[in-house]
A and B are shown apart, each in its own frame.
Chain A
């Protein structure tokens, strides 16, 4: 970096607006789709794990191993299959990470249903499926949402690593900035990633308040106590 280079050059941002916007959208898609896919997969897996408790230990062990794999290694393994610089190459590993967070969230959420509530539902004459859909899953929502917040925020920021294989959303700006010894793209990228993560998290919190007003009552009572 040249000593006289300013930290931010606003004219660069103006000139590259459409490119930045494109990367932003790409980052949103690649950050959020894994959470969505992860949730769709985590629900049946979590249900199976809480129905057959013996499954949970091996399943969570396996997911933890996947979580521990470096994302770059996974990208490289996937390149021959899904292609270089493709969305899928980034989305698939991130889905695995989301899964590692969401399966325990679903299991814990279902465990958060008090026994007496489950028994009451059974005694009222709920069929098992109806009990799951109308009682257990709604009560699990706050815990699952907490998991989704973690998965979403980490997903949005993990997308950047994809820049190393040519598809990293806003992470592309980091590579550009580094290659050109030019700080503006890096700062723009960091600010947008953080804003994106905070916004997505805020939306999830809002969704939680709307979906589970009964849990808000609990939160308020908890604060008052």
Chain B
């Protein structure tokens, strides 16, 4: 656990980069610091590994003030991924990854074996091991950066806008990869970004900082969307908060109608205007209207893992406003009618408002 206790960073000119920051970064979770430029998010991050020292207050790492620990020793125990990768141009990929093990005095063989393991773990082809960073794509460089940060298996990982220099498609891939890795590794990650969507996608908790280094809100992404602490956070979150909130609500509880699923050529049950037609393997073929043999297109979601947002999206892509639910094998599990979806959305809205009510008047340290 990392704890910021009344941390302020003031520069000689009088600029305050961080003001009275108090928050806890729980062990094994991703906490994202997000905010516009000049909000002190990178400064806060760098106070954890003493690249910057606070003017007031203290930063505790597992109960110990980081200022009691010699910086190189402290830093070798904390992984760091920097924007643009920060890879050493004169070292091959493998030796870049093995940097911290070398610093810790591991023998060369062991360090390189560990580096190879990590290459596989972050999805880098083995044949890249002997390349120089310059010979890699932006996405590959970032993967090397992540592998390097993980090389000595540090419990804490600091990531400073690691994905902001790559194109959106690659970025989305790297984000998914990070979430997959984190599910296995359970590191304590502090992630800095200026991209609120990235923050909401990756964060177990999100700290929204504003200019002048003040914490505006520290909460889970769902809480943030449902109940922004003030106008600044609301504006920063941007549009479609309600729809985006649905991403955090599982679709698993939606009631499924199995009677509206028929095999090809079978009649629709009495009173049904639309049915889903499936093949012999129960995979969806399309929607069929009563009294019409033609199949219309459809939208579908995975009932076991998707969110209400995916279910709503699937409904909007169907001619009748109902969504097809699939099981983990991609077979049709049932149909969610428009009424059932309406009811679920109404419940979600009511829940969001109930959760929001106590937090609505609060600002500052968030509803966590």
A141 to B49, CA, bound (A): 30
Query: Which of B78-86, B115-123, B189-197, B354-362 makes up part of the contact surface?
Result: B78-86
A221 to B136, CA, bound (A): 11
Contact partner of B90 (CB less than 8 A), chosen from A119, A120, A214, is: A214
Query: Are the C-beta atoms of B75 and A213 separated by less than 8 Å?
Result: no
Interface residues on A, range: 20 to 34
Taking CB atoms and an 8 Å cut-off, the chain B residues in 334-350 that contact chain A are none
A104 → chain B closest CB, angstroms: 21
Known A-B contacts A213-B132, A217-B134; A123 and B75 likewise in contact (beta carbons under 8 Å)? yes
A141 to B90, CA, bound (A): 10
Is A57 on the interface with B (CB-CB < 8 A)? no
Query: Are the C-beta atoms of B82 and A125 separated by less than 8 Å?
Result: no
Is A218 on the interface with B (CB-CB < 8 A)? yes
Query: Are the C-beta atoms of A135 and B82 separated by less than 8 Å?
Result: no
Determine the chain B residues whose CB is within 8 A of the CB of A120 once the complex forms: 80, 82, 85-88
A135 to B91, CA, bound (A): 9
Query: Are the C-beta atoms of B51 and A119 separated by less than 8 Å?
Result: yes
A135 to B88, CA, bound (A): 7
Is B76 on the interface with A (CB-CB < 8 A)? yes
- Interface SS of chain B: mixed
Determine the chain B residues whose CB is within 8 A of the CB of A179 once the complex forms: none
Determine the chain B residues whose CB is within 8 A of the CB of A114 once the complex forms: 84, 86
- Interface SS of chain A: helix
Is B183 on the interface with A (CB-CB < 8 A)? no
Closest-by-CB residue of B relative to A139 is B90
Q: 0/1 per residue, B96-121, Cβ < 8 Å to A?
A: 00011001000000000000000000
A221 to B78, CA, bound (A): 34
Determine the chain A residues whose CB is within 8 A of the CB of B72 once the complex forms: 125-127
Is A121 on the interface with B (CB-CB < 8 A)? yes
Determine the chain B residues whose CB is within 8 A of the CB of A217 once the complex forms: 132, 134-135
Is A1 on the interface with B (CB-CB < 8 A)? no
Interface residues on B, range: 20 to 34
Query: Are the C-beta atoms of B85 and A116 separated by less than 8 Å?
Result: yes
Determine the chain A residues whose CB is within 8 A of the CB of B84 once the complex forms: 114, 116
Is A124 on the interface with B (CB-CB < 8 A)? yes
Taking CB atoms and an 8 Å cut-off, the chain A residues in 95-129 that contact chain B are 114, 116-117, 119-127
Known A-B contacts A117-B87, A119-B86; A125 and B135 likewise in contact (beta carbons under 8 Å)? no
A190 to B254, CA, bound (A): 92
Is B37 on the interface with A (CB-CB < 8 A)? no
Known A-B contacts A124-B75, A135-B88; A119 and B132 likewise in contact (beta carbons under 8 Å)? no
Is A138 on the interface with B (CB-CB < 8 A)? yes
A135 to B72, CA, bound (A): 15
Closest-by-CB residue of B relative to A141 is B90
Determine the chain A residues whose CB is within 8 A of the CB of B91 once the complex forms: 214
Determine the chain A residues whose CB is within 8 A of the CB of B55 once the complex forms: none
Taking CB atoms and an 8 Å cut-off, the chain B residues in 118-157 that contact chain A are 132-135, 148
Is B89 on the interface with A (CB-CB < 8 A)? yes
B88 → chain A closest CB, angstroms: 6
Is B73 on the interface with A (CB-CB < 8 A)? yes
A224 to B78, CA, bound (A): 39
Determine the chain A residues whose CB is within 8 A of the CB of B158 once the complex forms: 123
Known A-B contacts A123-B80, A214-B132; A117 and B89 likewise in contact (beta carbons under 8 Å)? yes
B208 → chain A closest CB, angstroms: 24
Known A-B contacts A213-B132, A214-B132, A217-B134; A122 and B75 likewise in contact (beta carbons under 8 Å)? yes
Known A-B contacts A124-B80, A217-B135, A221-B134; A116 and B86 likewise in contact (beta carbons under 8 Å)? yes
A135 to B85, CA, bound (A): 15
A169 to B282, CA, bound (A): 93
B365 → chain A closest CB, angstroms: 28
Is A212 on the interface with B (CB-CB < 8 A)? yes
A119 to B158, CA, bound (A): 13
Determine the chain A residues whose CB is within 8 A of the CB of B75 once the complex forms: 122-125
Query: Are the C-beta atoms of A214 and B73 separated by less than 8 Å?
Result: no
A139 to B76, CA, bound (A): 22
Would you list the 4 A-B pairs with minimal beta carbon distance, nearest first? A120-B86, A125-B76, A125-B75, A123-B80
Q: Could you show 7 A-B contacts with beta carbons less than 8 Å apart?
A: A116-B84, A116-B85, A119-B51, A123-B51, A130-B103, A212-B90, A218-B89
Chain A contacts to B: CB under 8 angstroms: 114, 116-117, 119-127, 130, 135, 138-139, 141, 212-215, 217-218, 221
